[in-house]
A = this chain, B = another copy of it.
Amino acid sequence: MSNQPKTLPARYYTDPGVFQRELENLFCRMWVCVGRTEQASRHSDFFLCEIAGESIIITRDGDVLRGFYNVCRHRGTRVCREQEGKFAGPIRCPYHGWSYGLDGKLVGVPHMDDSFQREKYPLHPVQIGEWDGFIFLNLDPTPNSQPLAVQLADLPKKFAPWGLRDLRRYKRITYDVKANWKLIVLNYNECLHCPLLHPALNRVTDYLSGNNDPPQPSYIGGSMELRDGAETMSVDGRRRREYLPGLNEAQRKQVFYYALYPNLFLSLHPDYVMAHTLWPEAVDKTRVLCEWYFHPSEMAKPDFNADDAVEFWDTTNREDWAISELAQQGIRSRAYVPGPYSPREMLPAAFDQWILQHERV
């Protein structure tokens, strides 16, 4: 009993200083998932994302995906105002018209002396990477930062059967949660709370079923079994779409839940995939984007409708956010002291350990 893991001290959920360090050490030095390839699939498509207070432009320059800080090199103005779209030509700052190619190079600059060296003023680049349709950024400016492949570890191989690259987004819902981002990670990684909190979910999967992988340096996760009679996660357990083409018999009867540190949750179902990305905004405030992806051959069917999956998870999401907010409120109390994790909460305990290891104060 003496080695039983306990929850973290309150300051990890309430101290703005701890939060700033986490932004710096985790969200600004690791690969964070910012979107899907389909959001910038053709030349000069772009979209913006905001991470740790930074606005980043993601755009496609021919075959190459690029990321830039949304900051003009002239007087610092945000050069791009629209959340997404297609650049009609160079990226032009709306203030004084400094213009940048899609490779970030400064190409137009009104009224400067001939001596002005425009090659010194490109848009500041950001490291960018892709995996199976997901786009990742890394704000770490150091040359030897960890490659995306290292952070992904064996997940590409593990998830190959679901063919994530081929799927397309059906729906996105944005949630503003008044809780520290880590409470949302803890909540995602155990189902001990499912019987009480998620009656609908508990009807289609057994919270005592499934297996967890041993915790990895960059992710945690595992599987759950669908109950007899249930074929996917939906209100009635009924599956209204073909199985994803690459799945074997066993995968067709399971749901897989993985949290890739620091901000991506992947929930793999027999007939669809759901992804959450976390966007910490304050020590007690997190924006969560939840997206649902389906196979294009299903989406092309005239009567395609996947609201059953969306509504099922939207309900479950809201139950999770509400309880995470109650946790945030309680942990703030002077009466809070770290409490004991049960044997069924080994993934949350592993995440806490990962947090402690990455403090780098």
Contact A97/B1 with A55-B333, A333-B69, A343-B113 known, Cβ cut-off 8 Å: no
Interface residues of A in 44-77 (CB under 8 A from B): 53-55, 69-77
Residue A330 at the chain B interface, CB threshold 8 Å: yes
Pair B75/A327 contact, Cβ less than 8 Å: yes
A336 to B69, CA, bound (A): 9
Beta-carbon nearest neighbor of A112 in chain B: B342
Is B70 within 8 A of A330, CB to CB?
A: yes
Copies in the complex: 3
CB neighbors of B among A104-141 (8 A): 109-113, 115-117, 121, 124
Stretch from A142-150, A151-159, A169-177, A189-197 contacting the other chain: A189-197
Q: Which residue of B lies closest to A348 (CB)?
A: B75
Contacts of A299 in B (CB 8 A): none
Contact of A77 among B81, B323, B334 (CB under 8 A): B323
- With A1-B113, A97-B196, A196-B96 in contact, is A73–B326 under 8 Å at CB? no
Is B124's CB under 8 angstroms from A335's CB? yes
On whether the beta carbons of A339 and B121 are closer than 8 Å, the reply is: yes
Q: Is the CB of A111 within 8 A of B72?
A: no
Shortest distance in angstroms between A10's beta carbon and chain B's nearest beta carbon?
A: 8
Q: Does A304 reach chain B (CB closer than 8 Å)? A: no
Task: Out of B72, B78, B196, name the residue touching A94 (CB < 8 Å).
Answer: B196
Give the shortest distance, in Å, between A307 (CB) and chain B (any CB). 27
**Is A164 an interface position by the 8 A CB rule?**
no
A197–B121 CA distance with the chains assembled, in angstroms: 22
Residue of B nearest to A72 (CB): B330
Q: Provide the residues of chain B in CB contact with A216, threshold 8 Å.
A: none
Contact between B77 and A110, CB atoms less than 8 A apart: no
Q: How far is the CB of A244 from chain B (nearest CB, A)?
A: 32
A7 within 8 A of B: yes
Instruction: Report which of B94, B117, B327, B329 forms a contact with A95, defined as CB distance below 8 A.
Output: B327
Query: Is A77 a contact of B111 with CB atoms below 8 Å?
Result: no
Q: A78-B329, A112-B342 are in contact. Are A96 and B192 (CB under 8 A)?
A: yes
Interface pair B192/A326, CB less than 8 Å apart: no
A331 within 8 A of B: yes
Q: Considering only CB atoms, which chain B residue lies closest to A73 in the complex? A: B339
Interface pair B110/A53, CB less than 8 Å apart: no
CA distance A109 to B113 in the complex (A): 70
Q: Does A340 contact B (CB under 8 A)?
A: yes
Give CA–CA (A79, B4) in the complex, Å. 23
Shortest beta-carbon distance, A76 to chain B, in Å?
4
With A76-B339, A326-B81, A327-B76 known as contacts, the answer to whether A54 contacts B333 (CB < 8 A) is yes
What would 26 A/B residue contacts be, using CB atoms closer than 8 Å? A1-B113, A4-B113, A53-B332, A53-B333, A54-B333, A54-B334, A54-B335, A70-B330, A70-B333, A71-B335, A75-B327, A76-B327, A76-B333, A76-B339, A78-B326, A78-B327, A94-B326, A95-B193, A95-B196, A95-B197, A97-B196, A111-B344, A112-B340, A112-B343, A116-B340, A124-B335
- Identify the 9 closest CB pairs spanning chains A and B, nearest first: A69-B335, A76-B331, A124-B335, A78-B330, A76-B330, A78-B326, A77-B327, A71-B330, A76-B336
